[in-house]
């Protein structure tokens, strides 16, 4: 092992091995990714994403980075909202840059998206193929727990944001009550892998996704990591009792 272990679900693996392992997961799930999100959450993920983009509030002429944006679910929402703002206020087109480590996910997004505001790139959240201070906003939804070094990804988010730029991270988190945690654990470990097996023909990938959620820092620890990366005004909004949480901040 070349350094401190990285988590891959409940396994501890060589940090150099994790990107390939995660790539394999998303290679396998790419074609059914959006369908599985609907099935696993009963469609509630759409409400969480709508709320995230509403908080982002994209404006005409802004550049928004959608990191780990894969199939473009968030990017399309951002483009539509920016276009509505443009119709009301005028101004230049917004630009949404989708960056994802997995080429198969990017390919799925390109096939499904026709918005001229969206640009696509394969790239690493820990070393974005973008210049310093190039964007007014950065959003990452259900992706940061899959990176090898979360702190490095947060520092990259800060690097590509202009001073005062908006940071938003939507991620599965820790339910706020013990009863909800027990119910969520039972659903996650018994039902989600079974849905993956039946619908996507891939139990192992969805077992990993459930385990990766459990290994991710809780709301307060992740908020502290965001502040350590150079963000101010860090805030947390829990969705569905903390099943998911939106962390926000401003680039200092």
- Ordered by start, the domain boundaries in the chain are 6-251
What mean pLDDT is predicted for residues 59-68? 98
- Give the count of beta carbons closer than 10 Å to the beta carbon of residue 241: 16
Residues 6+ away with beta carbon under 8 Å from 50: 77
CA dist., res. 76 & res. 135, Å (int): 17
> DSSP secondary-structure letter at 167?
E
CA dist., res. 251 & res. 168, Å (int): 11
pLDDT classification of 142: cutoffs 50, 70, 90: very high
Integer-rounded Cα radius of gyration of the chain: 17
- Element of type H or E holding 44: helix 44-56
Which CATH homologous superfamily contains domain 6-251?
Answer: Vaccinia Virus protein VP39 (3.40.50.150)
* Region at 133 (left for phi over 0; alpha for psi -120 to 50; beta for the rest): left
Lowest-confidence pick of 106-115, 116-125, 217-226: 106-115
In the Cβ-directed half-sphere of 50, how many Cα atoms lie within 13 Å?
A: 5
For helices 203-215 and 178-190, what crossing angle results, to 10°? 160
pLDDT of residue 171: 97
> DSSP secondary-structure letter at 176?
S
Q: Measuring CA to CA, which residue among 28, 27, 15, 249 is closest to residue 139?
A: 249
**DSSP strand pairing (63-67 vs 95-100):** parallel
Q: Is 54 exposed, middle or buried (0-12, 13-18, 19+ CB in 10 A)?
A: exposed
Reported pTM: 0.93
CA dist., res. 169 & res. 21, Å (int): 23
Higher pLDDT, 201 or 117: 117
Lowest-confidence pick of 18-27, 95-104, 136-145, 164-173: 18-27
pLDDT of residue 211: 96
Q: Measuring CA to CA, which residue among 104, 102, 103, 52 is closest to residue 78?
A: 52
Higher pLDDT, 236 or 1: 236
What mean pLDDT is predicted for residues 101-121? 93
* CB crowding 185-201: b at 16 or more within 10 Å, else e: eeebeeebbeebeeebe
């Amino acid at each position: 092992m070349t350094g401190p272990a990285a988590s891959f679900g409940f396994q501890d693996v060589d940090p150099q091995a994790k990107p390939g392992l995660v790539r394999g997961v998303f290679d396998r799930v790419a074609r059914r990714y959006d369908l599985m999100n609907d099935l696993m959450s009963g469609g509630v993920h759409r409400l969480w994403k709508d709320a995230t983009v509403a908080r982002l509030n994209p404006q005409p002429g802004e550049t928004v980075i959608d990191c780990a944006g894969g199939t473009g679910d968030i990017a399309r929402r951002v483009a539509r909202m920016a276009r509505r703002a443009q119709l009301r206020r005028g101004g230049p087109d917004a630009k949404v840059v989708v960056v994802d480590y997995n080429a198969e996910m990017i390919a799925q997004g390109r096939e499904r998206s026709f918005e001229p505001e969206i640009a696509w790139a394969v790239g690493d959240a820990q070393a974005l193929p973008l210049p310093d201070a190039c964007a007014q906003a950065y959003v990452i939804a259900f992706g940061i727990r899959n990176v090898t070094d979360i702190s490095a990804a947060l520092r990259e988010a800060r690097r590509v944001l202009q001073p005062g730029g908006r940071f938003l991270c939507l991620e599965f988190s820790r339910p706020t009550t013990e009863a909800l945690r027990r119910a969520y654990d039972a659903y996650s470990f018994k039902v989600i892998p079974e849905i993956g097996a039946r619908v996507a023909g891939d139990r192992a990938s969805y077992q990993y996704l459930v385990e990766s959620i459990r290994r991710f820092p809780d709301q307060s620890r992740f908020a502290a990591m965001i502040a350590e990366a150079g963000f101010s005004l860090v805030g947390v909004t829990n969705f569905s009792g903390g099943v998911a949480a939106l962390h926000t901040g401003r680039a200092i």
